[in-house]
Amino acid sequence: MTDFAAKRMGNLIVNHDYSSEQKYDSLVNALVTSSCSTPLQRKQLENLLKECGFGQQPNTDVSADLAMLTWMNACYADLLAHAGDVLLGKVEANSLVNHRLVGPTSRMVGESTFYAPVFDELSKGFPIRYFVDIGAGVGNVTLRVLQGHPNARALAIDKNGDSLKRAMAEAVEYDIASRLSTKTMDAALLSEQPELITGADTVCTLFCCHDLLAKTGREKFVSWLAAIYGALRPKGRMIVAEAVHADAKSHWFSKVFTLIHRLQKIVLPREDEWVTMFEEAGFMVNMRDGVMPGSRVFTLLKPEMAKAPGEKTPTPLAFKRLEEEPQGRTTRQSQPQLPMVAERPLLTILPPQPITVPVLRAVEGHHAPVPFYFDDSLVPGAPVSIAVVDLGAIPPGGPAEPHRHKHTEYYLLPAYPERVEIEVTIDDHTFNLISPALLPIHAGARHCFRVRKAKPGQFIFGVFVNEQGGQSHEIQ
């Protein structure tokens, strides 16, 4: 197909009249007319197009993203133009794909759609120490993770060694190469070499799973997932961006994406089918919209108390559909279902009930009892005790004489519309603390403070780091 013909095909797909009430809309007619020369070809392609959602219901969402059009036209124009011959077995679908441009144009699509939700999931307060990128390509995701997590190391896996060399060259340029390793291999072999992932806290794979599923079959794919699950550290996660099979209501690009893969004998799973396979491998599943039409971003969680692959998840399905937004776009909401297991099993979780605060405690060196709003008497085994004192009510000489504690304490001044100022003396050093501010006072340091500027209703928080298992012994 010539470049002109490819562009014309793309324009037909995007600009056809979806409001048509006829049985097959103009897009279906365009595809069938362009690629079929016999009645049998036409019938087979019409049936496939119907299964991919075309021509069944009007769809007014015809906005086109340049990146998605470029991906379609640059890589798959010949495949779409010869769809009839592919269905009759006259030509192999794979031979009609411009594989050289799949990577670059996929990155264009990623930059404008699915990278954003993936990076959002990767940045959700989760410390990354060992990151594994399956199907890393030239390292778009891996390099950004290393740049954003200076203590992390990463392994980039891809079957294309040239792509990994480019990733490493860029890592050298950014001075992060010492933290990057690469492995040229087929991702399917990871189930035989799970030690490559052992100890990882985050694994990421973008639009690789549907190819792997088609190649290995469902049973082996679930086993592959289970091998990754077993190698992840407890509370680790796997971020998976994937496509789901289109239906009549889907965006045009989702339909084209589904059609292109069906012509290559790859049937994209439905949303619930993906979730079922992830759960069978042992994961707990959160899901959100992938921005790219027809895509989802799945966050697969390995609980701290890991269960065996195939064991039934004891919680309800860990995702739900939100209400439709005005534009008709469906979004997803993360609902982590991890068991509430504390890092330090010292806290006793009390049943919901009112607790009277503050509790007045005598503290060494202080002139008067100190009001505590959180301490060992309220929550047994509390790792800190928190006192809250009204600075506007403190006498000019300060609340305490210079004194020492055998534990570390922090002075915390919150932000107020009007500035708060206190003078803190620690051993031989004097600090002028202006809100907002946080000042550590290390164990054994002789300290006191006095108020320089404050009004009633402006508070200082004293955070006492307790000895393991209870409150500071200096608080009576």
Specify whether 36 is located in the same domain as 140: no
In a domain, 471, yes or no: no
Question: What confidence tens digit (pLDDT) does each residue in 171-214 have?
Answer: 999 999 999 999 999 999 999 999 999 999 999 999 999 999 99
Report the side by side order of strands in the sheet with 421-426.
429-434, 421-426, 447-453
In a domain, 308, yes or no: no
Question: What confidence tens digit (pLDDT) does each residue in 206-258 have?
Answer: 999 999 999 999 999 999 999 999 999 988 999 999 999 998 888 878 988 99
Specify whether 213 is located in the same domain as 194: yes
The Cα 302–Cα 395 span in angstroms is: 54
Q: 299 — phi, psi (to 5°)?
A: -105, 115
For the chain, the farthest-separated pair of C-alpha atoms sits apart, in whole angstroms, at: 99
In a domain, 32, yes or no: yes
Specify whether 266 is located in the same domain as 153: yes
Select from 261, 278, 301 the last residue of a domain.
301
Q: How confident is the model at residue 71, as a pLDDT? A: 85
Specify whether 269 is located in the same domain as 383: no
Lowest mean pLDDT among 96-105, 174-183, 301-310, 392-401: 301-310
Number of domains in the chain: 3
pLDDT greater at residue 76 or residue 23: 76
Q: What is the DSSP string of 55-111?
A: TSS--------HHHHHHHHHHHHHHHHTHHHHHTTSS-GGGGS-HHHHHHHHHHHHH
Select from 57, 87, 105 the last residue of a domain.
105
Structure tokens at 464: 């006492």
On the question of pLDDT at 420 being above 80, the answer is yes
In a domain, 95, yes or no: yes
Question: What confidence tens digit (pLDDT) does each residue in 444-468 have?
Answer: 889 999 999 999 999 999 998 875 4
Select from 259, 276, 301 the last residue of a domain.
301
Specify whether 120 is located in the same domain as 263: yes
In a domain, 184, yes or no: yes
pLDDT greater at residue 231 or residue 304: 231
Specify whether 46 is located in the same domain as 66: yes
pLDDT greater at residue 469 or residue 266: 266
The Cα 449–Cα 399 span in angstroms is: 8
Amino acid at 102: V
Question: What confidence tens digit (pLDDT) does each residue in 138-159 have?
Answer: 999 999 999 989 999 999 999 9
The Cα 387–Cα 179 span in angstroms is: 43
Amino acid at 234: P
Q: Name, in order, each residue with C-beta under 8 angstroms of 41's C-beta and a sequence gap of 6 or more.
A: 35, 84, 85, 87, 88
* Contact call for residues 244 and 270 (beta carbons, < 8 A): yes
Structure tokens at 116: 């954003």
Straight-line distance from the first to the last Cα atom of the chain, in angstroms, rounded to the nearest whole number:
85
Specify whether 394 is located in the same domain as 447: yes
Q: How confident is the model at residue 42, as a pLDDT? A: 63
Average pLDDT over residues 303-316: 49
Specify whether 119 is located in the same domain as 253: yes
Kindly report the pTM of this predicted structure. Answer: 0.57
* Contact call for residues 373 and 358 (beta carbons, < 8 A): yes
Indicate the helix (H) or strand (E) that contains 24: none
In a domain, 454, yes or no: yes
In a domain, 428, yes or no: yes
* Contact call for residues 77 and 46 (beta carbons, < 8 A): no
Domain around 174: 113-301
